[in-house]
Amino acid sequence: GNAGAGAGAAGGPGSFQGRVDEASLARLGEQIKGVMRRAMRDLIQEEVAKGEYDHVLRLWREVHDRLMRLSGSPGEREKTKAAIDCDYAAELVGANALDNGILGDMIQLASQRLAELGAVAYEKQVLDWGLKLSDAMRASGSAAEGEGGDEASAGPAPASGDDDSASPKHPAEILSIFFDTADTMLTRIEAGVAAHLLCQAMS
């Protein structure tokens, strides 16, 4: 095994061996992402079917915290706090009052903040994506039933090439697509901010 690895490494970055390995790694990475997406969807589905939202609330808190870090000025931080109110969501869960209409509103408000804090070039695309997902959530059956919403296609998410995202119907599926794509968008925004800060520091 070591001789083969040594031969591949000796071939350098332009070698055929190196390109095959990169393609294989990219495919493997996509397969792992697909497995993780399905696992997240299944976990959310299991939870919401039982009327439990612990994992969903943890994911909302993560989106909130990451957006807060990207909201530089006090005014921007207030907008983010107003858009994603995790404490209110937790209260609704405690009172058994969190429904798909409220979840749809949360998705729409969070996607608006993603659009506002992200690249201007993608703002309309992100807003459209958030609106389609939130409409699909509002049109879907109750989380426990997992029915309805055939005409409410959420469309492909801008940052996710996953075929599953074409037309989610179950609330858990809509939530998992939202959290997965929001994570990708947040990672891109954070990388852009880091690159900008690095350029500033070097100039």
Query: Mind listing the pLDDT tens digit for each residue in 74-131?
Result: 999 999 999 999 999 999 999 988 889 999 999 999 999 999 998 788 899 999 999 9
CA distance 168 to 177: 8
Residue 4 CB burial class (10 angstroms; 0-12, 13-18, ≥19): exposed
Please name the amino acid found at residue 58.
R
Average pLDDT over residues 51-76: 92
Does pLDDT of 67 surpass 90?
yes
Quote the percentage of the chain above a pLDDT of 70: 76
Query: Mind listing the pLDDT tens digit for each residue in 83-96?
Result: 999 999 999 999 98
| Cα dihedral value 88, 41, 125, 167, nearest 10 | -120
For 106, residues 6+ apart whose C-beta sits below 8 A from its C-beta are: 60, 84, 89
pLDDT for the residue 128? 94
The alpha carbon dihedral of 195, 196, 198, 203 has a sign of positive
pLDDT for the residue 62? 95
pTM, two decimals, is 0.70
CA distance 184 to 7: 36
Quote the percentage of the chain above a pLDDT of 90: 41
